[in-house]
Structure 1
Amino acid sequence: GQMLLQPPPLFSLIIGITMNLPHDYTLLLHPTAFAGWVGLIVTAVNLFPIGQLDGGHITRAVLGDKQRYVGWFSVIFLMFTGWFFFAILIALLVGVYHPPPLNDLTQIDGKRKLLFIVAMIVLALCFSPFPIYQLD
């Protein structure tokens, strides 16, 4: 069978805005577009709220010690969506827990909380649960 790429929502949105394609289409990607697809997937993985990933830093800053629960939930979520290898790799190499900052007393303002929400929206737009699948 053929290997097909499942585009993240942001990629689908960009294709929908820039191209007039029928509902059920197969798109052959130019190498530059493929690099963009890979970039979205890598961005999504980096924004997961796990340990020392960027998403872990952001989540720790906003949620404090509760980040560890979000981190474990994220690892379990990755496992259930077929990213088992990456979930184990991230948990073992990066760790799920984020160490406390030197200054844990300063409160996060509303602007930074809004940026946290924006980062989680970017994660949702860049993540594809099944980025590569086989067509029988």
Structure 2
Amino acid sequence: MPKAKLLPQKDLAALCFRDLKKRKMADYNVVCYNDQMRLKTAVELLNATKDIEKQVEKVSSPLLILHGAADKVTDPLVSQFLYQKASSKDKTLKLYEGAYHSILEGEPDTKIFAIFDDIIAWLDSRCSAE
């Protein structure tokens, strides 16, 4: 039973990639799992999520949270919850308008480059040559 596939399922890949060419390329990624989620995997993800929710206040390191505002796989409210509940003094939440779930590989290149620029700027502002 743990290896049973969950039915029915949405095509998550279609919900992850806004750029259709990149969506098609992902089908050929040998390290990407392209089958339906297994029941045991779903149960473990749910359990892990519950455990994380119970302990999110313990997050105290500097935190950069990036999320596509049009994400249909993981609700952006999850990232907002993390931002609000984490005890980090230094935390940043960036929601990218119109972006889907795979913000670093499934968006148009201009959006991906802008997101990487945000990541680099965030890191640069916290790193010094001292």
Same fold (TM over 0.5): no
Structure scoring higher RCO (CA < 8 A, sep ≥ 6) equals 1
Which structure dedicates a bigger proportion of its chain to helix? 1
